[in-house]
Structure 1
Amino acid sequence: MLTGKKGSVPFIDIHGMRADEAKRQLEFFLTRTPPGVREVVVIHGYSHGQVLKDMVRHELKHPRIEAKLPSLNEGQTRILLKEPPGAEWTVPG
């Protein structure tokens, strides 16, 4: 698993993992994503990533997920996040 930032958007790379392992890693990643982060990118792969893509887009459930959006890159899915319970939005300024 590789994590980091693409520009200012955190990402996790799960391609090549088994679906059960990828799901565990994603759940951990989403739980540990700091409050205030509104979007993450999941890299699941394109040519051999259909099982992972389906898992991310249709099966993955987490309290922080607000929406799952396709990316222009078929090997990625964008996930919009809600604030974790008890956290407050902060407006920079």
Structure 2
Amino acid sequence: MKEPYGMADLSAWFRVNMGLRKKFSKLFKRRMVHMLSGIIEIDVHGKNVEEAFKEIRKQLNRANASVYRIRVIHGYHGGTRIRDGIREEFGYEREPKIKRITMGDNPGITELVLREL
């Protein structure tokens, strides 16, 4: 009787699943590091303003008490619509969770401060 899976099939299956496992493990670790550090990073490159706002609101709703800052990476060279829209939409106490909005390390990053350390 022939085995349903040969060694070649098993090694291929193992390579595919281990590759996925490593990929998800890296993503999980990166997400956990940011959650443990109190900072959530959101990358909105390639999204329009509405999609970016939707993602930011989703993360704002998911943010627990350990999160004190949300870092939005929107880029700079493609235009400043997302950056300007974030300042209009979430600034001036329009969102109760956000205390203030600051520029990040470069012009392509905006940080939403939820609480002071």
Question: What TM-score results when the alignment is normalised by the length of structure 1?
Answer: 0.73
Question: What TM-score results when the alignment is normalised by the length of structure 2?
Answer: 0.60
Which 4+ residue blocks in structure 1 deviate beyond 4 angstroms?
Answer: none
Aligned length: 80
Higher RCO (CA < 8 A, seq sep 6+): 1
What is the aligned partner in structure 2 of residue 26 from structure 1?
Answer: 56
- For structure 1, the 5+ residue unaligned runs are 83-93
Give the percent of matched residue pairs that are identical in Structure 1 and Structure 2. 31
CA RMSD in angstroms comes to 2.2
The superposition leaves residues 28-62 of structure 1 with CA deviations (integer Å, 9 ceiling, x where unpaired) of 11110111211121111110141111111222342
Looking at CA atoms only, which structure, 1 or 2, has the larger radius of gyration?
Answer: 2
- For structure 2, the 5+ residue unaligned runs are 1-29
Q: Residues 15 and 52 of structure 1 are in contact (CA less than 8 Å); yes or no, is this contact kept in structure 2?
A: no
Alpha-carbon separation, structure 2, partners of 1:47 and 1:37: 29
What is the aligned partner in structure 2 of residue 63 from structure 1?
Answer: 96
Alpha-carbon separation, structure 1, partners of 2:62 and 2:76: 26
What is the aligned partner in structure 2 of residue 88 from structure 1?
Answer: none
Alpha-carbon separation, structure 1, partners of 2:102 and 2:50: 21
